[in-house]
Structure formats: structure tokens, C-alpha cells
Structure 1
Amino acid sequence: MQSERTRSDDRSRQTDFPLTDHSADAVSGDYRDSVDAHVSSEDNGPLIVSISDIHGFLDAARSALLTLGDHPDYDPIVEQDEAGNLHWASNDYVLVFNGDLVDRGPANVETIQMVARLIEQAPRGRVRVTLGNHEMGILTQALFSWGSWFSGQVGPDARRSLVTAIRNGHVVAAYKGYTVTYAHAGHNDPYDVTTVNRNLADAASQLHGTIGSADDVTIQQQIVQDNPLVLGMGTRHPKGPDAGLIWLDFQHLQRDAPPQVVGHTRHDTITHKGQVICQNVIRNTVDTPGGEAVLVEDSAGLASLRRDATGDVTEQPVTLE
């Protein structure tokens, strides 16, 4: 069992950000942006499973993703091998990692490797990653003093890998589900998923050739200034009421905000306000048995699957107000 208290991975400076294997196909169009790409006239489309804010707590993430296979009403989304690694189970799902894969926990590299493996094994567009503020800490590293965390310790190669993953459509600003939109922190105003994803990809392209150069810091500052909806931080506090899609604190989301599933702000259990659901539960439950959870969405609605202290999994419908 890993100790889940270490704040940074000692190998981070020597490690790439291996989010996608070089053989993984780029994802574009609806496959990048929306579950609609997987819906046909012959069926109702795949279930969407989402998890947020793993933060390098790999054991908790594995436990959460295994809840489907441990519930009698669901097929597994992943299968675990003898070494404990998760693999795509070849069932009809879309899996959304809703931001903040890294920092705080001990297994940052291994968490990224898990996500990369699932992207590689799943059909095109079936594993989506939304950009969290801690991934932004890698993308625009010079803007933060996060030297004690993985995101502040990785080198230029890791930043280039993240830029490539964004340009190839594996990391996005948002993803459109059946009823809700998935974004790391969300927003009070409606936004177009295709537009914010294109803008993020364009910003990554601006960085692509400048990482490690004399222009690096200037371009980092410029892409944040040019993309306040996605990358913008609040004026008085980074998570303040005028922050963008990856920074806004849940307390500033209004009850009449568009239907969204977000992470970012810690809770003990999956929590909703109006039409917004916050699924960030790993950090508040990592030191106690149980509490790991995922959200499941289909065309009929949403539900949570939560593991209790005994290891059993219970399902709870989630109703938008």
C-alpha cells in the first residue's frame, strides 16, 4: 500500500508528462468535444463515468474506478491486473478525468501513466481529460511558485508533452455530456464547448515552440491574458468570482448556472447546487476507509456510485434542481 501523504514525486524532474503514447491517435471534432460522437440512431449511447481531483492519490482513484465492477447493475469500466494496474474493460463507456491528476499525493507519475494507458487502450475519444488548475501549473509553470509540488518540479519535456496532449485533443477545457458539461471548475455563464476547446488548443500551439526559450514566460503570460474564460484567475483571489473554467471556486457558482459537473472544490461527498454537481471527494476521504466515488451519466440522468467503509458500493440518483 502506498503512503498517500507525500507531497511530491522525487522522480518528477526526470520524468516526462506521459499522458498519451506517441501511437495514440489525435482526437478532434465531436470525438474531442461531445458524447454525441458516440450516439447513433440504433442505441442510446455510452454511459459517461467521471472522476475528478485524483491529485496523485492513485489507490483512491483505482478504488473509485472499480466501483462499477463492484456493483451488480454495472459492467466494469476497467479491470485490474495482478500488479494492480487498471486496463480498459472494453465496455460501452466514456471516461472523463475532470482535472487535477497531479500534486499533493505520492503517485503523480503513476497516475498519469494510468490515464495514458486507458487513452491508448480505449476507442478514440472514449477517455477525456479536462485541464485542471494543477495541470495549468505545468503548462504555465513560471506563473506559480509551486516548487514543492510535482507541477512545479517537472522540466521542459513534461511541459512539451502536455502541450502536445492538448493540441492532439486528449486534454480539453470542457466536454459535453447528455445533460451536463464537464469542466474542472465551471462557470456561471453559458459557454460553447467547441470554442473553449479550440481556444485552449490554440494557446497550447502558441507555447509549443517557445518552451525553454527566452520568450517562454512572455507567452505563458500572454495566453492567460488572451483566454480569461478558460485560464483566467480571479482578481482578488485565484478562485474568486471572476475566475475562469479551471479556477472558479464552487462557492461562487450560482444556483442558476448552466448544468455542469465540476471538481476543484473539496467535499466529503458528491455535492450539488442547483444544476451544478461537484465531484471532488478524494482528498477529503483519502485517510479514511471508503468515500471514493464516481458519477455516471446517461441520457436519462445522473447517479453516483460510492464505496463505503466496508468496501461495498451503493448507487444514489443525483437530481438537478
Structure 2
Amino acid sequence: MDVHAFVFPCNQCLLLFLVVLLLHVFLFSAISAIAALQDNSNDLSSLLAFKAASTSGGDASSDNIIIANWTTDAPFCTWIGIGCSRRRPGVISLNLNSFSLQGTISPYLSNLSFLSSLDLSNNSLSGIIPETLGRLPRLVTLILRWNLLSGPIPRSIFNMSSLVSIGLSSNNLSSSLPTLIVMLPRIEWISISDNLLTGHIPADFARCSTLQRICLNINKLTGSVLSSLGNLSKLVHLSLGENQFIRAISTLIGNLTKLQYLFMGINNLEGKIPKELGNLVNL
């Protein structure tokens, strides 16, 4: 048998295999490019919606930094306050601290699916905190303090397993603290002081074993102190002053041996200061 008779068909098979492989590579690249363009389009439209909402409070002049800088004449990754990933042109941080924003927070920020840090502090933003912010799957830091935000705290925020820091202090937030429907496995800092919160501290706070700082002072919270916080062994800062807490201080305060700062003044506390307070040698 002539072995050369098999050379031509085998060469054809190899050529066909290479053609198919190249087609797969091309299709994969094209699909990835289309997906990236779609993501860019989503991010751009979300940012423009945020711009329209947050600059609608009366400061619509051209000297507003957001209005002047956030234009489609330049890629949104170059806009002031925007941080993008090096791997893909998607927004991973939005830092507009002290930018004189006067409108509301757009619910379309939830479309920034790669956002990990949101800081809108020290502005004049009003209205509610959108429930849709709880849909940001990668959000680590949420800082909205020193604004004019009102209404309840969305329950969805307390279902975000990626969150490490929640800063909502110095607003006009009302209603009670949401029950933690899903444990926040990474949360280290919760600051919601200087608001209009009522009700009790949810018992589910005790499930957040990674908590290091709790700031709930200057509200209208009631109930007993530390009945649900005594198991937070990593806590170093606890500020509950200027509320309406009643009854005696729980002896469980002695379990917080890492505590360095404790403020419970200006409440309706009664009874004795527990001797277990002496266990807090790091105060």
C-alpha cells in the first residue's frame, strides 16, 4: 500500500482543524468585545443618569464640576471621581466627596455591576437611599454621610455580603434599623449616628462577628444596651450615647475585651455600673 495516499487527507484534516480553531477564537473575541461594549454602554448611561439626578437641586451652572467634566467628549474612565479597572473599562469606584451635589441619588447606580466603592459624603443630596443599591454585588464600601437623605434605610443594604463599611451618619434617616435578613460576613464598620432612628438594636447584629466599630449615637433608639452585642469579640469602638436606652447596662459588656472607646452617656440608663466593666483593660 502506498503510504503517500494518506498524506493529502491528513493535511486536509489538519487544515480544517486550524480553520475551525481560528473561527472559535474569532467568535470568542467578537462576543467578548460585544459584551465589553454593552457593559461600557450600561456604565455610561448609569453615570449620566446619576449626573442628571445629583445636579438637579438648583446648582445647574457650568461651574459645577460634574456638569463641566462629565461629558461624552471624553471616556468616562477619565471623568473626575471615577475609578476604572485596569482589566476592563468598567467603573469600580465612585468618589464624589464634597462635590456640592444637591439633587438625589439615582437608582440607576445599581447598573454599575463592578462597583466596589461608593462615597458621596459631604454633599447636599436629599431624598431616599435607593433600594436598588442593594443589587451591587461587589460593593465593599458605602459612604453617604453628611447629606440630607431621609426615609428608612433600605433593607437590601443589609443583605449585601460583600460590604465591609457602611457610613450613613449625619442625615435625616428615620424608621428602625432593618433586621439583618442575611448575615453580613465581612462587615467591620457600621456608622449611622446623628439621624432619627427609632426602635431597638436588632438582635441580628450579634451575628456580625467581624464588626469592629458601631456608631449609633444621637438617635432615638430605645431598649436595653448590649443585650445583643456582648458576643462581638472584635469590637474596638462602641458609641451609643444620646439615645433613649433604658434599664441597666448588661454584664455582657465584660466580654468586649478589645474595646478601646465606649460612649453611652445621655440616655435613660439606671442601676449600677457592672463590675465586669473592669475587664475592658484596653479602654
User: What TM-score do the two structures reach when normalised by structure 1?
Assistant: 0.24
- Which of 1 and 2 has greater Rg? 2
User: What TM-score do the two structures reach when normalised by structure 2?
Assistant: 0.26
Q: Which has the higher contact order (CA 8 A, sep 6+)?
A: 1
